[in-house]
Amino acid sequence: MSEPTMMTARGDGVTIQLAEWGKQGKPVLCIHGITANCRCWDVVASTLASDYRVFAMDLRGRGGSEKPVSGYSVDQHCRDIVSLLDDLGLERPMIIGHSLGAFIALAFAALYPDKVDRAVLFDGGGDLSAEQMAKVFAGIKPALDRLGKVFPSAEAYIDLMKRAPYLQPWSPALETYCRYELEEIEGGVKTNIDPLHIQEEAMNLGKMKADSFYRRIGCKTLILRATKGLLAEDDILLPETVVEKMMREIPDARRVDIPGTNHYSILFQPSPLRDKALTSFLKE
């Protein structure tokens, strides 16, 4: 995998950091999940970089982007994207979002149809019940629990992440992703994400009615779905009934299930099926 070029752009009142792969072709903007960062896209970007100019942003409050005290909601992230697209001079990119990023991509495609060529929703964007959302947050609790903790060294943190059952098998891409989010402090290292920002994000996400955006999406949409749970079989982001509703209501949608993957491995592990589905859709 090639190393990206790092850059910054103006968001809506904040500076946003981005990774860039490739220098030619149509622009693609990738948006990560709730506690993730731009380097979660290394594997996917490596597949696309020969044909597209691929950007992956650090959402405000994550990675190298600025971290204001508040302002963590899907609507605010959409405003940040409008600003950074204008700042970078990117017209009608293809938007790809994972998890929270899929909800952002969904809302952005509905709210700013003239600014999107097409959208890809990686294991997210579904209209979940409160019960299913609670199962999902229980599944990602280990990822949430790492925030705010001080670890004696980067190696100690990596050793912890290597033992996470939902991140198996471990890979160089996962190690790059985890090291990217660390910052040195007195006594060791910690992630550069404030748990209070994630609490605000989660609260606002819980209020979002994803299905209110479905019929407003005018671009082609691809839904890539992981079939396995994280810690249980049912803590998945896109249950079958939820995907069926998306397929009924999003005007020009298609879906591809990626068997054997969970919410993380659908991004981080090699998958010829995922890569073929993604590249075929972007070339339509």
Q: What is the mean pLDDT of the chain?
A: 95
pTM value > 0.95: yes
Residue 174 has which token pair? 């996962």
Percent of the chain's residues with pLDDT above 70:
100
Cα–Cα distance for residue pair 125/107, rounded to 1 Å = 9
Would 40 be classed as within a structural domain? yes
Q: Please count the other Cβ atoms lying within 10 Å of the Cβ belonging to residue 173.
A: 20
What's the pLDDT at 135?
A: 80
pLDDT value at residue 229: 87
Domain membership flag for residue 187: no
From first CA to last CA, the distance across the chain in angstroms is 25
Residues composing the chain: 284
Q: How many domains does the chain have?
A: 1
CATH number of the domain encompassing residue 219: 3.40.50.1820
158 in a domain, yes or no? no
CA distance 243 to 258: 13
Range of the domain at 69: 5-129+196-283
Q: Is residue 149 part of a domain?
A: no
Residue 206 maps to a domain: yes
Residues 6+ apart with CB under 8 A from 188: 150, 151, 152, 153, 156
The Cβ-side half-sphere exposure at 107, using a 13 Å CA radius, reads 21
pLDDT, greater one: 105 or 2: 105
> For residue range 159-180, what is the model confidence (pLDDT) as tens digits?
999 998 889 999 999 999 999 9
Instruction: State the burial class of residue 56 (Cβ atoms within 10 Å of its Cβ: 0-12, 13-18, 19+).
Output: buried
Residue 82, in any domain of the structure: yes
Which pLDDT tens digit goes with each residue over 79-132? 999 999 999 999 999 999 999 999 999 999 999 999 999 999 999 999 988 888
Instruction: State phi, psi for 258 to the nearest 5 degrees.
Output: -110, 90
Chain centroid to CA 61: how far?
Answer: 14
Is 70 contained in some domain? yes
Instruction: List the beta strands (DSSP E) in the chain.
Output: 5-10, 15-21, 27-31, 53-57, 94-98, 118-122, 182-185, 188-191, 220-226, 253-258
**Strand pairing class (94-98; 53-57):** unpaired
What does the DSSP assignment read for 36-94? --GGGGHHHHHHHTTTSEEEEEPPTTSTTS---SS--SHHHHHHHHHHHHHHHT--S-E
Record the tokens describing residue 255, joined without a space. 């879906």
Angle 242-245-249 (CA atoms, 0-180°, nearest 5)?
145
